[in-house]
């Protein structure tokens, strides 16, 4: 997968990929991430990529011309599955959409800053608007990093058996069951006996029951449309 990130502050995203699973995914070539700064496409001598809003109001808006030149440049070189704009007004991200994006070959992610980007870029170039939740960040960069992490870890080969995504929360419309590690007795609090039994069928059944219990208690909304788990 190739991801082109458009941002006036690329450092805010880059740091996210310097460790652990994301770094390994990049090093192994499962994904390439390229950063593009609209400032490099600004033609005035100050390289201005943002400007005041028409009609007044606090906050700057990313100007259309540098963004359009940048996007024209990218779109002329590759065929993209989606041009995504990170915004709290977009569709809220969930595991189903993340699964779908993990099958993409090329995507562009635009990060707004301050008040966002000129509406005409949204109308003319953006094919999908994504939010990571009902709250407002200072910019789209942390949202882009979160989106990329959720998508990249699902690319085949990125996770090994130990970190397999198949047992993640949400993968089966269920939250994950509790997990334990050594010691089996921590200050008198014991690990459930079944996990020490070596009986994989019993362990599987226990995990499913606990996942269901967890979901019913914390996120009953997940079970509403889920006939499989609604016994
Ligand atoms: N930019 C600012 N806030 C955001 C959010 N909640 N989701 C995606 N992009 C954003």
Distance of CA 2 to the CA centre of its chain: 15
191, part of any domain: yes
Ligand 1, atom 1: closest residue by C-alpha? 140
The answer to whether 162 and 122 have CB atoms below 8 angstroms apart is: no
Domain identity same for 97 and 192? no
Q: Is residue 158 part of a domain?
A: no
Please give the model's pTM, rounded to 2 decimal places.
Answer: 0.93
| CA of residue 28 to ligand 1 center, whole Å | 29
User: Are 76 and 176 within one domain?
Assistant: no
Round to whole Å and give the CA distance between 113 and 86: 10
**DSSP state letters, 59-114:** SEEE-HHHHHHHHHHHHHH---SEEEEEEEEEEEP-HHHHHHHTT-SEEEEEE-BT
Distance 86 CA to ligand 1 centre (A): 6
CB atoms within 10 A of CB 221: 8
* Ligand 1 center to 158 CA (angstroms): 26
What is the three-class DSSP state of 25?
A: helix
Classify residue 185: in a domain, yes or no. Answer: yes
Give the residue whose CA is nearest to atom 6 of ligand 1. Answer: 88
- CATH number for 178: 1.10.1270.20
Same domain (yes/no): 104, 197: no
| Pair (128, 43) in one structural domain | yes
Q: Can you give the pLDDT at residue 160?
A: 83
User: How far apart, in whole angstroms, are the C-alpha atoms of residue 101 and residue 107?
Assistant: 9
- For residues 192 and 99, membership in a common domain is answered with no
- Mean pLDDT by runs of 10 across the 231 residues of the chain is 97 95 96 98 95 93 98 98 98 96 97 93 98 96 98 93 71 90 97 98 97 96 75 61
Q: Is residue 164 part of a domain?
A: no
Asked if the structure places residue 129 within a domain, the reply is: yes
Give the per-residue pLDDT at 165: 76
Asked if the structure places residue 163 within a domain, the reply is no
118 domain residue, yes or no? yes
Same structural domain, 144 and 198: no
Residues 140 and 35 in one domain: yes
Nearest CA to ligand 1 atom 4: 88
Question: Which among 114, 130, 126, 125 is positioned nearest to 61, based on CA atoms?
Answer: 114
Domain count, the chain: 2
**Ligand 1 touching residue 133 (CB < 6 A):** yes
Dihedral of CA 122/123/128/129: which sign?
Answer: positive
| Number of CB atoms found within 10 A of residue 137's CB | 18
Give yes or no: residues 141 and 174 share one domain.
Answer: no
- Residue 106 falls inside a structural domain: yes
Domain extent for 191: 169-229
- 138 and 214 belong to one structural domain: no
Predicted local distance difference test score (pLDDT) of residue 141: 97
Residues 11 and 121 grouped into a single domain: yes
- Give CA–CA dist 53/76, Å, rounded: 30
130 and 16 belong to one structural domain? yes
């Amino acid at each position: 997968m190739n991801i082109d990130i458009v941002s006036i502050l690329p450092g805010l995203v880059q740091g996210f990929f310097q460790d652990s699973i994301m770094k390994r995914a990049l090093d192994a070539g499962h994904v390439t991430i390229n950063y593009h700064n609209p400032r490099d496409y600004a033609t005035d001598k100050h390289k201005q990529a943002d400007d005041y809003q028409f009609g007044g109001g606090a906050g700057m808006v990313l100007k259309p011309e540098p963004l359009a030149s940048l996007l024209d440049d990218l779109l002329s070189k590759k065929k993209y599955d989606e041009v995504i704009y990170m915004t709290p007004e977009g569709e809220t991200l969930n595991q189903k959409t993340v699964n779908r994006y993990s099958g993409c070959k090329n995507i562009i992610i635009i990060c707004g800053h301050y008040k966002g980007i000129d509406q005409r870029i949204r109308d003319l170039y953006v094919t999908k608007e994504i939010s990571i939740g009902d709250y407002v960040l200072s910019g789209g960069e942390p949202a882009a990093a979160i989106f990329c992490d959720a998508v990249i870890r699902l690319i085949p080969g990125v996770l090994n058996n130990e970190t397999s995504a198949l047992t993640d929360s949400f993968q089966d419309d269920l939250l994950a069951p509790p997990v334990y590690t050594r010691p089996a007795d921590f200050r008198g609090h014991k690990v459930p006996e079944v996990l020490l039994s070596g009986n994989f069928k019993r362990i599987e059944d226990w995990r499913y029951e606990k996942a269901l219990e967890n979901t019913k208690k914390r996120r009953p909304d997940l079970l509403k449309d889920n006939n499989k788990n609604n016994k």
